[in-house]
Structure 1
Amino acid sequence: MRNTKIAVIGGSGIYDIDGLDAAEWVTVETPWGAPSDQILTGRLGGVDMAFLPRHGRGHVHSPTEVPYRANIDALKRLGVTDVISVSACGSFREAMAPGHFVIVDQFIDRTFAREKSFFGTGCVAHVSVAHPTCPRLSDACETSARAAGVTVHRGGTYLAMEGPQFSTLAESKMYREHWGSDVIGMTNMPEAKLAREAELCYASVAMVTDYDSWHPDHGEVDVTRIIATLMGNADKGRAMVKGLPALLGAERAPCPHGCDRALEHAILTAPEARDPALLSRLDAVAGRVL
């Protein structure tokens, strides 16, 4: 058993957590640069918590420019065991309406301008992301969201686009009709991949703000309407977070799905061929196996 430490990475509209005991914004330095912002730490319901505003307070980082590697490394350095991603998204499904939450279990990664791995020349590793989210953590998010009165859809494919522009109508129809995507956003990739490399359990809660551009009755994405829905979703998201400590507990066993052992057989570079400079940067995310 080890102590649970839950991290929430808050997306658009969620820039803090209410009710933290001994709340303190802390600065964490990483070999991958500075995270998006300081990290809010404290305790909630007797469980250690950390909160990182993905875009920074004041929303200063675009989706492409979010320092994803630094964010995940910083959380790992703080002793985080479980990461809950909360983010705004568009919906490709009539039933997944604005104001609903989708507990994502699959991704299609269409981003192209981001660093997607901690590993590379001098230390090559391949982790499995066949199942990129943790079912145990997703269960807790679903239960807590439902208890908060949110309409929740369990399971869905998140199309991660580069942005910052929204989809064209042709793209929206393709993602919906031919690719089988359920929601669309700009931030969960490479975040989910990096969390897996760092052996962190990761769950994604996508908060629907709009129907993207495919819907004949809604037309193109309207930022004004998105922000209005975003504010309501943010309150629901905070209510969901409040229920997580009681569900996850102050102590946790090894992840039954192996998220915390993802690097067990992933590193291929022979020990004598590994780059010491890269290894030093991997001290937090891969220290267990290196």
Structure 2
Amino acid sequence: MDIDLAVIGGTGLYRFPGLERVEECAVETRWGAPSDGIVVGWLGTKRVAFLARHGRQHDIAPHEVNYRANLQALHSLGAKRVIGINAVGGIREDMGPRVLVVPDQLIDYTHGRVTSFGEGRGEPVRHIDFSEPYTASLRADLLAAAAAAGIGVVDGGCYGATQGPRLETRAEIARMRRDGCDLVGMTGMPEAALARELELEYACLALVANWAAGCGDEAEISLEEIFAHLEHATARVPALIAALLKP
């Protein structure tokens, strides 16, 4: 089965609207089952696979996602290009709520997650080049698609991946700002590294859901506001993906 593009949906994106002739694939991998059934359908003349990273009921926490199974399942279905949709907090001044960002760098602050397919005795170890964590050509295509669709996105930025599921303290965000992070999220790693190990093209489309702690005017981050901002940002994703798939 050839897949023109795989999309991994984050918080707020549990289904992909507009897909036609849809079928659901239950895929098992040697690493276990992915987060949910993989929905495969047609968007125009292109075949698209969609997987909800947290499950369609949002019942899988960021640190409990089976990232290996997710990437392996998409790979086994024939996907070669993957867009990871990630809900994030904004740190940099131009990355406030409802902004879409295509980051070009990341820093991994997670711990205790399985970060490689080369885990355990007898598994081959691959020392991948991860200098540029996102595929440059896919990033360029994503940016060009946004421009063609008239959707504003910020080009570049550093994604800081934290453990979750709790949000970060003001001190942690201050440290991340000093480290050079522009965004903070909980699911950017090890997803990007595992995609590289499988030689998949991979790019991130980050949807800013809130200001990170201490970066906005709010004394406390409201979950109601987060989901309102996410709904607004997520509404632009299908048109952007459709533009990405145009010949």
TM-score range (shorter-chain normalised) is over 0.9
Please give the TM-score of this superposition, normalised by the length of structure 1: 0.81
Larger C-alpha radius of gyration, 1 or 2? 1
Does the CA-based 8 Å contact 1:100-1:150 persist in structure 2? no
Does the CA-based 8 Å contact 1:72-1:195 persist in structure 2? yes
Shift in Å, 1:126: 0.9
- Residue 242 of structure 2 aligns with which residue? 242
Shift in Å, 1:30: 0.5
Q: How many angstroms apart in 1 are the aligned matches of 2:213 and 2:84?
A: 24
Shift in Å, 1:45: 2.0
Shift in Å, 1:143: 2.3
Q: How does 1:25-40 map to 2 (within 5 A)?
A: 25-40=24-39
Does the CA-based 8 Å contact 2:63-2:163 persist in structure 1? yes
Unaligned runs of 5+ in 2: none
Shift in Å, 1:149: 3.8
Q: How many angstroms apart in 2 are the aligned matches of 1:79 and 1:20?
A: 18
**Secondary structure, counterpart of 1:209 in structure 2:** strand
- Residue 226 of structure 1 aligns with which residue? 226
Asked whether 1:183 is paired with 2:183, we answer yes
Please give the TM-score of this superposition, normalised by the length of structure 2: 0.95
Shift in Å, 1:135: 1.4
Q: How many angstroms apart in 2 are the aligned matches of 1:68 and 1:47?
A: 25
Q: How many angstroms apart in 2 are the aligned matches of 1:85 and 1:39?
A: 14
Q: How many angstroms apart in 1 are the aligned matches of 2:117 and 2:220?
A: 37
Unaligned runs of 5+ in 1: 250-290
Cα offsets for 1:41-100 (capped at 9, x unmatched): 012121121000000101110000111000000000000010001111001111112111
RMSD: 1.3
Which stretch shows the higher mean deviation, 148-157 or 182-191?
148-157
Q: How many angstroms apart in 2 are the aligned matches of 1:19 and 1:160?
A: 30
Shift in Å, 1:4: 5.6
Identity of aligned residues (%): 43
Cα offsets for 1:8-40 (capped at 9, x unmatched): 000011111222221111101100001000000
Does the CA-based 8 Å contact 2:90-2:215 persist in structure 1? no
Q: How does 1:37-116 map to 2 (within 5 A)?
A: 37-116=36-115
- Residue 200 of structure 1 aligns with which residue? 200
Cα offsets for 1:238-286 (capped at 9, x unmatched): 221222211xx4xxxxxxxxxxxxxxxxxxxxxxxxxxxxxxxxxxxxx
**Secondary structure, counterpart of 1:64 in structure 2:** helix
Shift in Å, 1:216: 5.0
- Residue 153 of structure 1 aligns with which residue? 154
Shift in Å, 1:219: 2.8
Cα offsets for 1:119-169 (capped at 9, x unmatched): 133222211111110111112222223344432110110000001111111
94 and 125 in structure 1: CA distance in 2 versus 1, 3 angstrom threshold: same
Count of aligned pairs between the two proteins = 244
Q: Which amino acid aligns with 1:210?
A: N
218 and 146 in structure 1: CA distance in 2 versus 1, 3 angstrom threshold: farther
**Secondary structure, counterpart of 1:96 in structure 2:** coil
Q: How many angstroms apart in 2 are the aligned matches of 1:47 and 1:230?
A: 26
Q: How many angstroms apart in 1 are the aligned matches of 2:180 and 2:79?
A: 33
Does the CA-based 8 Å contact 2:145-2:241 persist in structure 1? yes
- Residue 21 of structure 1 aligns with which residue? 20
